[in-house]
Structure 1
Amino acid sequence: MRRHDTSNRGAPGTTAGLLGDTAHARAVPAPDAAVPSPATATAPAPRTGGSSANGWEVDEGVEGRGAIRMFPVAGTGLTVALRHGDPAAVLLHVVRRFHHEIDALGGSHEELSVQGWIPPARVRDSGMPESNQASGTAVAIRPAWYPPGHRDAFTPDQVAVVRDILADTDGVVRWGGDDWRPYEGLFYLATGPDDGRITRVADRIRVRDENEIRSPRGR
């Protein structure tokens, strides 16, 4: 079902850019886990003074005093670095649905299956959607397969599933394939930290995913 192609300046106010790689997910064993709880979103973090294209503060490192943590992607054997709390809950849900409904991630042929946070120093244009990775509010799925600037990596049926995933987030997540410079592997938060929709969506996902992770069907 997969069609691969080997690429965004996005919609006004939601654009990003990167050229980086660290804290990304490879096919390494990781335990299944429930999605991040709201409590993790309240931990204090040092301020960097910069923000990504979607308005979230960029972060300088993983598992330090900042907001970036490593998370297992339930049912995949992968881990990915994301902003803890609501952003991680929403983006992990997107990756899980991609894995189960579009194409399984983590095969031996993949060097890099999912890339989350990247260092701010790797961002070449803070106005491009990829800059959202520096704040831990974006994921690039198979960035080598679906790089910036290329279209039509997915079949119509796969695109239909992408649309369903986006609808499932009530507009909180945007797909890089919809930007004028496409990046079909990129999914990022289209809302800023003060938008209450992300918490509502994350809470709904937590309840549903915690049940589905425990069921044989999953999602």
Structure 2
Amino acid sequence: MAIAICPVVSSQPTALASELNQEVYGYSLNGWPIHNPADDVSTVEKCDISGISSSCEMRIWDVNIVLSDLVRQMHYRVKDIRSGEISGWKDVTEAAIQTPYSNLSSGTALQIRPSMPLDSCFAYEIQILEEVLKDYEGVVSWGGVMDKKDESLFYINTSPNEPLFIKVAEKVRV
């Protein structure tokens, strides 16, 4: 029996994201443009996460607002996060392009303790994590429930103009 820890807005990527992702690989699976932080026009930057001494490369503006808040919540409610335990943007790879890992290349995902062994979360940590994810109304998904489980992966699972994403970002911002 599968347990959905974080309900997704859609079980499938949007038609546009899926089409563009498959045809030109210019978009991550969630429909956001893939970026190279070295580009002058990139919207992916190294972002400090206020409240804890950590930072990672992620998309600025609303994605930064939501993912930084998630990291703070994980730090304070689940387990302390130390400097160097968060990994953000990664260059896109052919193996990752049709998976949620492609979201790392658009700056809309991050990994908390990416080197931790599989199934290293305690039951009480997962229970708190479930509560934290509910605050994001399905906009943030956890890799711990993917077919190929990755408990370190957290990602925005909506396209940029999804009204629910905008609503959640506004709620977190306040």
Q: Does 1:175 align with 2:142?
A: yes
Q: Does 1:128 align with 2:127?
A: no
Quote how far apart the aligned CAs of 1:194 are: 2.2
Mapped partners of 2:38, 2:64: distance in 1? 13
- Cα separation, partners in 2 of 1:156 and 1:51, compared to 1, 3 Å: same
- Cα separation, partners in 2 of 1:62 and 1:70, compared to 1, 3 Å: farther
Query: In structure 2, what is the equivalent of residue 160 of structure 1?
Result: 127
Contact 1:72 1:80 in 2 (8 A): yes
Query: In structure 2, what is the equivalent of residue 189 of structure 1?
Result: 156
Q: Please tell me the residue identity of whatever aligns with 1:117.
A: W
Quote how far apart the aligned CAs of 1:144 are: 0.6
Quote how far apart the aligned CAs of 1:64 are: 2.9
Query: In structure 2, what is the equivalent of residue 35 of structure 1?
Result: none
Mapped partners of 1:163, 1:144: distance in 2? 21
Count the aligned residue pairs. Answer: 156
1:82 pairs with 46, 49, 58, which one?
58
Identity of aligned residues (%): 28
Quote how far apart the aligned CAs of 1:190 are: 1.0
Higher relative contact order (CA 8 A, sep 6+): 1
Contact 2:25 2:97 in 1 (8 A): no
The two structures have a TM-score, normalised by structure 1, of: 0.66
Structure 1 unaligned residues grouped into runs of 5+: 1-10, 15-47, 208-219
RMSD: 2.1
Instruction: String of CA shifts for 1:98-144, please: whole Å, max 9, x gaps.
Output: 1111111116xxxx400111122x45221111110000000101101
The two structures have a TM-score, normalised by structure 2, of: 0.82
Quote how far apart the aligned CAs of 1:12 are: 5.1
